[in-house]
Structure formats: C-alpha cells, structure tokens
Structure 1
Amino acid sequence: MSIRLRLTLLLGLLFFSSIGNIVFTFILESYGEKKLAWVIHTHEVISVSDKLLSTMTDTETGQRGFLLTKDTNYLEPYYSGVTKARAYLDELLEMTSDNPLQQERLLKIEESMILKIKELKLTIDLMQSGESDKSLDIVLKNTGKKYMDDIREELVSFNHAERLLLEKRDGDFRESRAQITTLVIFEFSVFIFLAVITFMFVKGSLFNPLKLLLASTAKMERGEVQDVSALLPNDEMGYLLSRFYKMSEKVLEKNASLTYSATHDVLTGLKNRVNIHKEINDSISYLEKSKSKMALLFIDLNAFKVLNDTFGHDAGDLVLKETSIRLEESVRSGDSVFRYGGDEFIILIKDIHNVSQIEKIACEILKRFNVPVLFRGHSIDISLSMGIAISPDDSTNSDNMIKYSDIAMYDAKRDKKANHKFFSKTMVKRWNDSVE
C-alpha cells in the first residue's frame, strides 16, 4: 500500500472521528442542557409553592393581629398576602400545566384558598363594622384553621410530588453527565488508538527511511552505491491530532460547566440548595469521629421586599451579591455558604469545639454588615436576622437542623433587641403557636 493511500486513509479516519465526536457531543450537550433546565424548573416550582404557603400564613397573621388589636396596620400583610397568594397560585398553575395530577392538587388548594380568604374577609368586615363578637365567634369555630390545614396538606403532597420529580430529573441529569464522561473516556481511547496508528505510520514512513538514509551515508563513505528513500513530513497529522485533543478538552470543560450550573446560584455564585443536605449529613458523620460540633446559621435579610419595592430589583440583586461576598469573607475556607432561596442564606460552620467560637463567628458576620451599600448615590443598610442550630446538641438530622435554625431566625426577627439567636426547644412551641 502506497504512502499516499495510507496517509489518505489515516486522515479520513481522523476526519470522520472528529465529525462523529462533534455530532455526538452536540447531542449529549443539548440533552444535558434540557435535563438541567428541568432540574432548575422543578426547583422554581418548589420555591414558589413555599412562597404561597408563607404568603397565606402572612395573610392569616395579619387578620389575627387586626382582630386582637384592631390596629389597621395589621391589614397591610393581609391585603398584600391575598394579592400575592393569587399570583403565586396562578404561577404554579402555569408552571405545572403539563402535570394533570399537580393541576388537580392546585385546584383543591384554590378552593380552600377561596374559602379561607372569604372567611378572613368576613371576620375583618364584621370587626370593622363593630360586630366583634360575631367576628370572634367565626374564628372560634376553627373553620379557617381547617381551610388552612387543607391548604398545608395539599401543598405538602404537591411539594412531595415535585421533590420526587426533582430526584428523577436530577438522576436524569446525572446520567447525562455520566454519558458525557463516558464519551470523554471513549475519546481518550480513540486518541490512544490513533496515537498507536500514527506511531506505526511515522515509523514506517519516516523512521525506517531515516535509518535507511543513515545506512546509505555509511555506504557513501565506503564508496558504495547509494540507495536513498523519500521522506514524508508529518505536520498535517500532528495538527489534526492536536485538534482532536482540544475537542476532548472542550467536552471536559462543558461537563464541568454543567455541573457547576446545577449546583450553584446564578446571581451570587454561591452553592444552591441541591447538595445542602448531603453536605450537612457529611459534616454530621464527621462529628462522630472528631468529637467536635457543627453549626448551621440560617440568615434572612430584613425588609428585603421593601428594598425591592423602593429601589427596584437591580438594587435587590446588588444587595444579594454584596451579602454573598461579605458572608464568604466572614467564614473560614473550610466552611460553606449557600443561597437557600430568595433572600435566605445558610452557612455551615464545621469543626468547632465550643459555643463561644460560634458566637464569635456570628458577631464577625454581623459586624461585616455595619457598612451600607451604595446604589446610584443611595446608601442602603443591610440588616440580617440569624438563627443558629448546633449539631449534635440540637439534632443530627439535616432536615431538623435547617428547620431549627429557621425557627431560631424567626425568633430573632420577632425580637427587636436581638439580631441572632441560638435554637432552644422552647422556640418550637412558640413557632407552632404562631403557625396555628
């Protein structure tokens, strides 16, 4: 077989391998991006459902506050909650339009919401018209509590179904990443195979002729007849192989990019809630070996909605970014900072030995926020409320650690004299009473 034919066959093999790699990589990347979009979509559905429940709770809180105090300021969260609840429900209906079962649950929630809001409005109207006894009688019948319980029950079922979907879609996304990894391994295998073929080609087309040329030189020195062979350059082959290798690098970069996008918040660059339970459980498992403690700090920005309403979402985004920077600067390199959702952040403080260390870190975090943020000539103060739960003292369960730190945060938010609190069991009863 001639050198020209062998070179043509080798170049043809490289060309078709490159084209096949590009097509296959494009298909897998498109597939992975679709799976990632579904993972993000499901996270958004869960987030909106949480906002819906929180808004209904705020609506009920505003009604109770007005009935108990007759202070019309309590009606602001009531009116705001009614509007937002409707908007969140419509958003959920649109986001789950492809899921008949979830649509059915949302319609049940809508029925209970209508009844609940009607009951709230009736009690407020009676109180405003001076018929407080009738208003309180309606409250004591607990029909509103039943409506609220129905809403919570359906939302729990709704969120459970979405989390099952999230697990499935996250599994699909991980599978697509595994396929990309398999592609990379395959590419390296092909690369090694082509390297062997190339070596054999160069050996036969260059090294052997060079050996023959050296032998011919020796013959020339001895005055014998020369037998010179032609040599072929290898520049084109080296170029094609280098391009093939660069394609492999791009696949690895894309895989890393997809993984990062799935586990990090787009706005702040912090970790999102995807792997938060795994990190908490890993830290708790380490406690048994190290005999140390771990703290979970649940942080919420105070008056963030007012900030958005006053200065706009650009200011809100700036505050969220600045908050993430200051939080990361406040903790150690081995600790983790998450954006849990909206204006909520979670910090995982690892390998601590006493509560005073946690108190010191919490104070350092709060101290960082003494300096306001400048936005278009306006000075904006960032105020935090922080709840702290400690493992193993409070719990060795990731769900409970998040819940307890959240409860402590809300307790700190209600206490105007404190901006951070450590969780205690007495807070649970106050939390349950406030929810009811």
Structure 2
Amino acid sequence: MSPSGILVSAPASGAGKTMVTLGLLRALSEDGVVVQPFKCGPDYIDPAFHRAACGRASFNLDSWTMDAAMIDTIAAEAGGADLALAEGAMGLFDGAVSRGSAGHGASADIARRTGWPILLILDVSGQTQSAAAVALGFSRFDPDVVLAGVILNRVASPRHERLARAGLEAAGIRVFGALPRREDLALPERHLGLVQAQEHPRLDEAIASYAALLRERVDLAAIRDAARSNALAGSAGGRLPRPPAQRMAIAQDVAFSFLYPHLLEGWRRAGAQIMPFSPLADEAPAADADLVWLPGGYPELHAGTIASADRFLTGLRRHAANRPVHGECGGYMVLGDALIDRDGTAHRMAGLLGLVTSHAQRRLHLGYRRAELLSGLSDLPAGTRLRGHEFHYSTIVEQHDPPLMRVTDADGAVIAETGSRRGAVSGTFFHMIASEE
C-alpha cells in the first residue's frame, strides 16, 4: 500500500503547479514531515527542483510508458515517508490520445492508480465565480479521480478573492488558500522549460519564499489531512528496468543531466556499478567501464567547452575502439562530427558517428515514442522493445550511419528519427523510460 499522498494539478499548464509544489515540499519538510516527491509524466527538470526543496530524490510516474506494476513499484519509494506529494503535468486529464501501458499519460491516471486526491491550482486571472464552474467540472469529470479542493492563484485583490471563494463555497468545493498575483515568483525558463535547478543563481532563496507565502496564505494542515491512498496500489512487486551493462560510466553535469532517477535506482538495485564523470570538467570516463552513457541535457549551451575537452574526448574515443558508447539526445549530438549552436557556429564533437546536428535550425520534436532495437545496445539485444519520449529542438543536418532502432509515435505512426550506430557506438534522440518485457 502506498502512503497517503496528494497530487498537485491544474486545468492547464502555467497555472502555478511548480511554485505550489516547491513551497509545499519545503514548508512541510521544515515542519518535520518526511515528504516523498513525484513528478507525473516525462520530465527531467522539475524533479531536480523537488530534490532541492525537500532533500529527497523525486521519481517520475508515467502511465503511457510504464505498466501498472512499475508505477506501483516507483510509488512504493514513498514507503518510508509520511506523505507523498506529486506534481502533475499539463492539465489534469491531458495525455496522449492512444492508450499506453497503463493509461494515456495523464496525471489523472496516476491519481486513479494511487488513490491520491487532487489539489487543483486555479489561475483565477480575469474571473471570479466562473472559477467554481471550472472546479466543479473537474470534480465530476471522472468519479474515480477525487478532488480534495483548490488553491486560488494570481488573486488581484481581497474583493477578487472573496468573490471567487463565494462561488466555490456555493458549489461545495473546498478552498485551501489563495495566492496573490506576483510576477517576481516566476522561475526562469529556456527552450525546454525551466532553467535547471543547479543553474538557478538563488534557488534556495526562491523556494524559501514560496514556502513562506504558502505558510501565510494556505492551510497546510488541512492539505496534509486531505491526503489519501489506494490500498490496491503501491506494492513493490514490479521490476525496474534492468541495466544495459554491469559497469557504467555515466556523464553527469549541467550539460548531461537528463537521466531518470528510476533508471539509476533500478540499475543500482540490479547490481550495476555507476561511475559518474563530468565532460565539462574535462574528465575521461572510467577506463574499466563496460559502457559509457552520455545522457541528454544542454550540450548546445556548452559546445565550445566540450569541443576543447581533450581528456574527455580522447578517453571517449579510446573506449569506443572496442567497447560500447551510447548517447541520448544531447549525448547523441556530442557523439557526432559537429554540433551547430543557435548562433550558427559549428563545434567539432567526438566524431564517433557520421552526424551533424543544428540548434540554429530549431524545430520542436515532442511526443511519446515506442522503439525496437535493430541491433544490440551493450547487454540489450536486438529486438528489445522500449518506451520513452522525444523532446528537443535540434535538427539533423547530416546522418550517414545505419539506424539503431525502429521508432513509432503514440498513435503507431513511423518516426523518421531512428538514431544511428557505427561499430560499438550508438545514439538516438529517444529518451528511454521503460522496456516492454
């Protein structure tokens, strides 16, 4: 059984879910509550903010890429906590049209599976009593998704709050608090979303301000009391993805930070040795590694530094002579011949794949993906089927090697981006989340 929890969601993106989640994580932690954070959907950036807020690793829960057993296993990471607190993605019921392993990828799927009720963040800009109609619709849309109540956000004045509260109370919907309209509370963003947690210049100060605001304006005790769970979910009987190698040298710094915590945890539990190194610090991968893994991130912002990292590139090329190297998204770009940054400057990369990518020719590639390996990837044999997603703005200018995988989108349509391979080196824009076993 999973511990009692609550899921922070909203009718749409941009309503203030992350600010409220971070404020709750920090404020409750300061009160001595052990809070286990989660993030619905495929997202690398928000979980790092969660960890900064409460000191615990945040795990992703996604119903399109994960089956029910894996969702239960990951939810069980909250077993030693007093409270599970999940941040939703997009709007509560937004997901893929086609059903995946355990649902459509919507936050509502996770709420339904875990039994965690919804704390709905309502942006009431430009409306008063109409907010009640929105909340009432969300409370009745799916009888298996329970609405605990709402927090009003971007309230303009005491009168604005009073009118909005009146409508919600008349509809029988609980209001846990109201937050003022304050532009200074926004977190900085870039092309893939929020600036990474480790790059935020005053992150702790920002989170502390969110916590102080929620203490002043929100009934924290009532939110904690509203937490629930589903006795049928939360068991640890499922299996996390197995490691692709026994000794794995994994690039980890601000240019290579996009690797899901449940993958790392699963690999460690299976006995894999994780050996982190930093390309930006010009560190070479461990000489005795079975596999070098370059995760995604923002290499386009550090292309000049990577191009001049001689120890890193020499070590990478030495390893690739007879042992596997794999890159995901940004890591894939670094394995190619060149990376063209947003200013149009070409930077020489590792040259292990016949690939040139450009961030100057920006085009959004976004969505769930299902993939089948056409050749082996270290210990993962050809024919292995994977689920994941793609999210980047880079464009392939040149690609001269055979494909690594066959890829389809959530609706089964074939995707042209297949990744590529050359000898023991492989890469793809596909981000792995789970295998179909």
Larger radius of gyration: 1
Q: TM-score with structure 1 length normalisation?
A: 0.26
Q: Per residue, is there more strand in 1 or in 2?
A: 2
TM-score by length of 2: 0.26
